[in-house]
């Protein structure tokens, strides 16, 4: 590969980091995956992130490339003004991620710190399932649930706080479970991939290997898997109807681990939303197309945008 200008892109997840060196034309010149040392605590996670960014920058230079910007996307709530991140799963509380990245890089290179789901939504908007839309949503259903919201052509950041659909309350009474955020009855406690596996195990006393095994049991006719799946669909439909009523998307792209269920997930969502809507504009409900590289690709695109804007910042 001939030397060229690149950005360093890192998508920090709860279990692994997806990393890459991406050229201006979108070519992925290098990709790798590294573990996220979540069990070692929040400081260890931050150190691993900083080490990854520095080592990828060094690799780019050693290969003859020029690093133009750094794009890092993370879960949790980003305080855009202060560059801090709160992420329960990473044991981060107002952690100064942006300042630490600046200190680690030690050069005058633009740095973008953004939310992982918004970055994934940005990639789907630029080159994926949401391309051509001006009002749409990217909704990955994985360990957690959050939404990337495109409204009137713009990706909504809310100063780093927008899109936490998974922490909207939809379950009431005795059925409500305590969420990691401290609230009872969040959508995430029933409809995330992690919740589906956990609720099946709680219901049956059987340990399962994630939501994928629950889906296999569902296909085999297991009644407990069927009930857990029905509950997840019920509240997902509630969430999609509410979002549609408020924001009127023309397309909703579902991603994350649960999209592996394919039409077993999508068709009931389409039918349930269709039955519930009256005057609202009905959205097209489709599968996201960029898979687990969406966040990293979005990080790269945001980083290149910062070069164009000749600045740095948080999203």
Neighbours of 311 (CB within 10 A): 11
Rounded to whole angstroms, how far apart are CA atoms 151 and 133? 9
DSSP-derived secondary structure letter, 80: T
Q: Specify whether the CB–CB gap between 216 and 201 falls below 8 A.
A: no
Rounded to the nearest angstrom, the gap between the alpha carbon of residue 220 and the centroid of all alpha carbons in its chain is 30
pTM: 0.90
Check residue 143 and give its pLDDT. Answer: 84
Q: Specify whether the CB–CB gap between 48 and 101 falls below 8 A.
A: no
Check residue 28 and give its pLDDT. Answer: 93
Neighbours of 38 (CB within 10 A): 17
Check residue 273 and give its pLDDT. Answer: 98
Lay out the sheet containing 154-155: strands in order across: 154-155, 148-151, 136-140, 251-255, 284-287
Check residue 3 and give its pLDDT. Answer: 84
Check residue 107 and give its pLDDT. Answer: 77
Rounded to whole angstroms, how far apart are CA atoms 120 and 148? 8
Bridge partners of residue 141, in order along the sequence: 145
Below-50 pLDDT ranges, the chain:
311
**C-alpha torsion 180→117→142→290, nearest 10:** -170
Check residue 180 and give its pLDDT. Answer: 84
Lay out the sheet containing 313-314: strands in order across: 28-35, 16-23, 5-12, 66-74, 111-115, 313-314
Helix-strand-coil split of the chain, %, nearest 5: 45, 25, 30
Distances (CA, A) of 59 to 17, 27, 63: 17, 16, 6
Q: Specify whether the CB–CB gap between 65 and 7 falls below 8 A.
A: no
Task: Give the pLDDT confidence of 130-166 residue by residue, as tens digits.
Answer: 999 999 999 999 888 999 999 999 999 988 889 999 9
């Amino acid at each position: 590969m001939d030397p060229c200008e690149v950005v360093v892109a890192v998508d920090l997840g709860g279990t692994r980091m997806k990393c890459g060196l991406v050229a201006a034309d979108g070519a992925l010149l290098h990709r790798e995956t590294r573990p996220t040392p979540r069990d070692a605590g929040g400081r260890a996670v931050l150190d691993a992130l900083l080490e990854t960014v520095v080592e990828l920058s060094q690799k780019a230079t050693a290969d003859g490339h020029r690093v133009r910007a750094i794009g890092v996307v993370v879960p949790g709530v980003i305080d855009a003004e202060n560059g801090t991140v709160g992420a329960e799963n990473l044991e981060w509380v107002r952690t100064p991620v942006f300042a630490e990245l600046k200190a680690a890089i030690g050069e005058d290179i633009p740095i973008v710190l953004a939310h992982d789901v918004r970055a994934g939504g940005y990639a789907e908007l630029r080159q994926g399932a949401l391309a051509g839309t001006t009002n749409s949503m990217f909704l990955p259903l994985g360990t957690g649930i959050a939404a990337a919201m495109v409204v009137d052509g713009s990706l909504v950041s809310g100063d780093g706080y927008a899109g936490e659909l998974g922490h909207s309350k939809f379950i009431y009474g005795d059925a409500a479970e305590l969420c990691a955020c401290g609230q009872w009855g969040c959508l995430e406690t029933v409809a995330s991939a992690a919740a589906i596996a956990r609720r099946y195990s709680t219901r049956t006393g059987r340990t399962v290997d994630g939501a994928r095994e629950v889906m296999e049991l569902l296909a085999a006719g297991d009644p407990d898997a069927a009930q857990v799946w029905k509950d997840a669909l019920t509240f997902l439909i509630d969430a999609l109807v509410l979002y549609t009523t408020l924001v009127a998307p023309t397309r909703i792209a579902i991603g994350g681990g649960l999209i592996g269920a394919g039409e077993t997930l999508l068709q009931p969502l389409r039918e349930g939303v269709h039955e519930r809507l009256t005057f609202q504009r009905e959205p097209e409900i489709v599968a996201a197309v960029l898979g687990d590289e969406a966040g990293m690709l979005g990080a790269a695109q945001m980083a290149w945008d910062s070069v164009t804007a000749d600045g740095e910042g948080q999203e």
